[in-house]
Structure 1
Amino acid sequence: MKIRSIRMWSGVALTAMLALIGKGLSLLPQLGMIGPMVLAILLGMAFSTWGPAIPQKSSTANVADGYTFASKYLLRAGIILLGVRLDLVALGHAGIRVLGTEIVLVALTMLVGYWIARRFGIDEKLAVIIAAGTAICGAAAAVAIAVQVKARSEQTVLGVAIVAVLGTVFTVLYTLLFPWLGLSNEAFGAFSGVTLHEIAHVIAAATPHGAESLDNGLLVKLSRVVLLAPVAMFVGWWSNRRESREHNAAVAPSTTASAGDRNETAKSAVPAKKRSGKAPIPYFVLGFLIVGALHTWQVLPASWTQPLIQTSLFLLTMGMAGLGLQVNIRALRGGGRAFQAALLLSCLLVVVGYGAVKVLLFP
């Protein structure tokens, strides 16, 4: 999709405006932990539900095409630039104990989270989104995985919103419960990095307990973030494999059907694009890793780091606004079971993460 008209530019500009408003609101003390991304989604949803009607003209590029462009391409660009947060050398120095612990926890959270969500009767795509957002890095992971499973906009928005709300709630609870957790400042930082959803949540929880707490929290959290790439590739392979099986089942001739019926079935089946069953390597995941490598080995000037981070966050926020603009709030009714499943998963991650910190990281 390319920007082809002023109407499309106005759609992109709308997402930028909502992103700026979300950023401004996030500076308020009461809204700081919610973050600009979630606020942008909420603003987009509110605009879509109660704002002026946006004309939809199928024959020409329109405003809706503009914010769809933001929700697809600008969002992926933001994920690519997010790689500048990675320091592969620091992660390597953390040792096999930290990275190995995170690999086990992320895999366990993904599997258990998907199983819990399905037991609650949640659609499999939303189940994967919630599991990934909880297991890895909140909104960015939820969106990256949603791209891989080709989720609908309302599924993506619901998954992002649920993960963000729960991450904020647990951040506040950690602050209140710190005196009773029996953890040193350093161990508490690691505990925050192991269990909280967003990097912003880890920073908010660990900062009050000193520099070592914050350093440990970010190190452990980034070891989760780096797992986004392999998890996204695996989920993409899994999703394509499922699509392939469903496609084959749809076109398989029935033993009782007539030849004419079989031909009609084959014609009506929509062929899927990726049927080989090979693991896809999406360009935004490759870009994420490449940018991380460039940052790690100082190919990118140090003076670029903060501008790139800020650009990444703003592009992600514009993309989130674009997602919100595609969703009417009324379409999210019935999300209670998804929230309950995510809450149960988050509680389990807290318990298991606490045990991992006490037994493996800070015995």
Structure 2
Amino acid sequence: MKEFCRKWAKRIATKQMALIAIITLTATLIGMWAARFEGLKILGALIIALLIGMVVQFPIRAWYTKDDPQRAAGVKDAAGLIANKFLRFGIILLGFKLNLELLFTTGAKCLPLAALVVTVTVFVTYWICRWMGVDPLMAILVSCGTGICGAAAVMGVSGSIKVSPKRESEKENDEVTAIAIVAIMGTIFALLEIAILPLLNLTQPQEGFIAGGSLHEIAHAVAAGEGLNRPVPAGQVDAATMANIMKLSRVLMLVFVSIIVAIWWDKRHSEVTEVGGKRKVAFPWFMLGFIATAAIGTLFLQTVPASAGFINALGGNVAKIFLGMAMASLGINVNFKAIAKTGVKPLIASFIASIILVLICWGLAVLFF
């Protein structure tokens, strides 16, 4: 235990860790502030933090790590550690945002439909990616980001995948590429849906279902739901509420998909061996934390209504700070050449899959709402 604590203390208590922590926290706070403005709201705080991290890496390399391999290694390790650990903790806190009572009552119809939408989208996107020659790792990250909930899904599923040490850098680049792809697709389709859906003579619940069921980031679904919102008759759910319910139903699917991907990857693609030649599945234990916080948050909202502000803050701004710092850290370590080299085909695949996803959600909205 002493050795373990000494090892981690030595890794954490460094100038590079302090520097990256300050930079990523600043990037996150800027992202949260900027996301309040109408033009940037559709991107969301996490994507803005990622973009800031990608930009900040240039002055870091030019002024701090230039001609100093030790500093460069320290920055890379610090950014990697924050991206890995803060991401998992942020997803656990995100569970507080899931009101299970709402999902299992008002959103009861949405849960099986979300399971269907996520399953079909992940399979279709992965098939298109592989048909186009995309690497399996990139293909599954883009598929889950497109089908479930954008950046959080990419990082959550990535945590279920074990790769050999020599592929860790490649995995990080694939994560950033996949996040960038789903951010771009989600933004494009959010704007298209806000413009086109009101022209199709749909009801507010139908429009909200399509937005929540087809858009990638939570920020995209929220922005589109608000953009589509109109007054509704008494007793009918408006577009913003339905978009949130359907989107959170898809977020819940992340738990099951992460576990399935962990088992599937171990069977089909794992390169990691343990002592004695046995492989160990990278089970996403943090997803159990996600379910636990969702249950705790729901229980407190029911039994202690006064705790609503605290619970919402944990699942909202506090979770966003940890997730934003993880995203900014990813941006600091990103390899732009790798993105340019590997990103075009999965971008096209995600675009095609996003069209299919909208059509599926439109059909389900007409049938069930």
Question: With structure 1 as the length reference, what TM-score do the two structures score?
Answer: 0.85
Larger CA Rg, structure 1 vs 2: 1
* Residue identity in the other structure for 2:158: A
Q: Decide whether aligned partners of structure 1 residues 354 and 279 sit closer, same or farther in structure 2, where only a CA change above 3 A counts.
A: farther
The structure where helix makes up a greater share of residues is 2
Q: Displacement, 1:293?
A: 0.5
Q: Decide whether aligned partners of structure 1 residues 225 and 26 sit closer, same or farther in structure 2, where only a CA change above 3 A counts.
A: same
1:356 pairs with 2:356:
no
Q: Displacement, 1:66?
A: 2.1
Q: Counterpart of 1:148?
A: 160
Is the 1:240–1:275 contact (alpha carbons within 8 Å) kept by the matching residues of 2?
Answer: no
Q: Displacement, 1:204?
A: 1.1
Instruction: Please point out which of 210, 213, 217 is paired with 1:198.
Output: 217
Q: Which runs of 5+ in 2 are unaligned?
A: 1-7, 163-169, 231-236
Q: Displacement, 1:134?
A: 1.1
* Residue identity in the other structure for 1:43: I
For the residues of structure 1 that align with 2:146 and 2:72, how far apart are their CA atoms?
40
User: What do the CA deviations read for 1:269-314 (whole angstroms, capped 9, x no partner)?
Assistant: x634797678654221111110000011117832312321101011
Q: Decide whether aligned partners of structure 1 residues 29 and 128 sit closer, same or farther in structure 2, where only a CA change above 3 A counts.
A: same
1:222 pairs with 2:248:
yes
Q: Displacement, 1:51?
A: 4.5
Task: Report the count of equivalent residues.
Answer: 337
* Residue identity in the other structure for 1:324: G
Is the 1:243–1:272 contact (alpha carbons within 8 Å) kept by the matching residues of 2?
Answer: no
* Residue identity in the other structure for 1:48: Q
User: What do the CA deviations read for 1:170-218 (whole angstroms, capped 9, x no partner)?
Assistant: 1111111023222111211111111111221111111241472211111
Is the 2:274–2:280 contact (alpha carbons within 8 Å) kept by the matching residues of 1?
Answer: no
Question: With structure 2 as the length reference, what TM-score do the two structures score?
Answer: 0.84
Is the 1:237–1:278 contact (alpha carbons within 8 Å) kept by the matching residues of 2?
Answer: no
Helix, strand or coil at the partner of 1:118: helix
Q: Displacement, 1:9?
A: 1.6
Is the 1:113–1:342 contact (alpha carbons within 8 Å) kept by the matching residues of 2?
Answer: yes
Is the 2:161–2:282 contact (alpha carbons within 8 Å) kept by the matching residues of 1?
Answer: no
Root mean square deviation of aligned Cα? 2.4
For the residues of structure 2 that align with 1:180 and 1:111, how far apart are their CA atoms?
30
Is the 1:138–1:197 contact (alpha carbons within 8 Å) kept by the matching residues of 2?
Answer: yes
Where does 1:11-160 land on structure 2 (aligned, <5 Å)? 11-49=20-58, 51-53=60-62, 54-55=64-65, 57=69, 62-94=74-106, 97-150=109-162, 152-160=171-179
Is the 1:40–1:320 contact (alpha carbons within 8 Å) kept by the matching residues of 2?
Answer: yes
Q: Counterpart of 1:339?
A: 347
Helix, strand or coil at the partner of 1:122: coil
For the residues of structure 2 that align with 1:59 and 1:175, how far apart are their CA atoms?
47
Q: Counterpart of 2:196?
A: 177
For the residues of structure 2 that align with 1:138 and 1:273, how far apart are their CA atoms?
35
Is the 2:41–2:223 contact (alpha carbons within 8 Å) kept by the matching residues of 1?
Answer: no
Q: Counterpart of 1:326?
A: 333
Q: Displacement, 1:49?
A: 4.2
Instruction: Please point out which of 274, 293, 296 is paired with 1:294.
Output: 296
For the residues of structure 2 that align with 1:191 and 1:139, how far apart are their CA atoms?
20
Q: Counterpart of 1:304?
A: 310
Q: Counterpart of 1:282?
A: 284
* Residue identity in the other structure for 1:283: W
Q: Displacement, 1:322?
A: 0.4
For the residues of structure 1 that align with 2:98 and 2:46, how far apart are their CA atoms?
20
